Chain A
């Protein structure tokens, strides 16, 4: 079955800790994205990658980092510099940039 897999489903972060959210896709899509959803808010773009070994900042990249070493994988690291990390994080991919997005099932990150 083709799709996007995010793990873990729930993640807890201690103060000062970096955590990494996993996103894997087997759809052979070139573009991948990370969005953040806060209650009552829309989806805000954190980072995106149009192709392997390339990525760009989105609207709210501060406190986050990404890598795109493989086409299938686009992990997101929430660093200690992100002061308000509690949110629902969504990974997505598309055949090419700005086309229809396919989303993973999300990771809920909470701060202990």
Chain B
């Protein structure tokens, strides 16, 4: 049972426009959320995070929004640049009640920035 879902396997956006990547979760015990960016044959790199006490966190071109009632978070990238083309993973952690489980990752969304 997937606890973290990224329902769009891929997303194509024009350069300069806004990219919005979505993530849904089912476990209400999650209280810390992260976004990672991954290029092919490389390890993921941390982008931005948000704790459940906030509903928004910004870092330069990247903003993460958290809607706890909807169990939904989104990553906004504006403006989108060619180097943003990568796979983006949403991850969540928290006390899941069953002991420590580490971060739970979604399947990723492949973002393609078109010139």
Q: Are A106 and B41 in contact (CB under 8 A)?
A: yes
Candidate in B4, B44, B46, B91 with the most chain A CB atoms within 10 angstroms:
B44
Interface flag for B9 (CB, 8 Å): yes
Q: In residues 87-103 of chain B, which contact A (Cβ within 8 Å)?
A: 89, 91, 93-94, 100-103
Is the CB–CB distance between B100 and A41 below 8 Å? no
- Residues A100 and B34 in contact, CB atoms below 8 Å apart: yes
**Chain B positions 1-28 with a Cβ under 8 Å from a chain A Cβ:** 4, 6, 9
In the complex, A101 has a CB within 8 A of chain B = yes
Knowing A97-B100, A98-B100, A100-B34 touch, does A42 contact B42 (C-beta < 8 A)? no
Q: Is the CB of B41 within 8 A of A33?
A: no
- Chain A residue contacts of B43, Cβ below 8 A: 4, 6, 90, 92, 103-106
Which residues from chain A contact B100 at a C-beta distance below 8 Å? 48, 50, 56, 97-98
User: When the two chains form their complex, are residues B41 and A42 in contact, meaning their CB atoms are under 8 A apart?
Assistant: no
Pick the contact of A45 from B32, B101, B107 — CB < 8 Å?
Answer: B101
Return B30 CB to nearest CB of chain A, in Å: 11
Within residues 50 to 96 of chain A, which ones have a CB less than 8 A from any CB in chain B? 50, 56, 58-59, 88, 90, 92
> In the complex, which range does the number of interface residues on chain A fall in?
20 to 34
Residue of B nearest to A10 (CB): B41
**Number of residue pairs spanning A and B whose beta carbons lie under 8 angstroms apart:** 62
Out of A40, A56, A90, which one reaches B44, CB within 8 Å?
A90
Number of interface residues of B (CB under 8 A): 25
* A101: B residues at CB distance < 8 A: 34, 44, 46, 91, 103
Task: With A33-B102, A108-B41 as known contacts, state yes or no: A98 contacts B93, CB within 8 Å.
Answer: yes
- Contact present for B41 and A43 (CB under 8 Å): no
Closest to A35 in B: B105
Query: How far in angstroms is the closest Cβ of chain B from A54?
Result: 11
**A42 x B102 contact (CB < 8 A):** no
13 A-B pairs with C-beta separation under 8 A: A35-B105, A42-B105, A58-B101, A58-B102, A98-B93, A98-B102, A100-B34, A101-B34, A101-B91, A105-B42, A105-B43, A106-B41, A106-B43
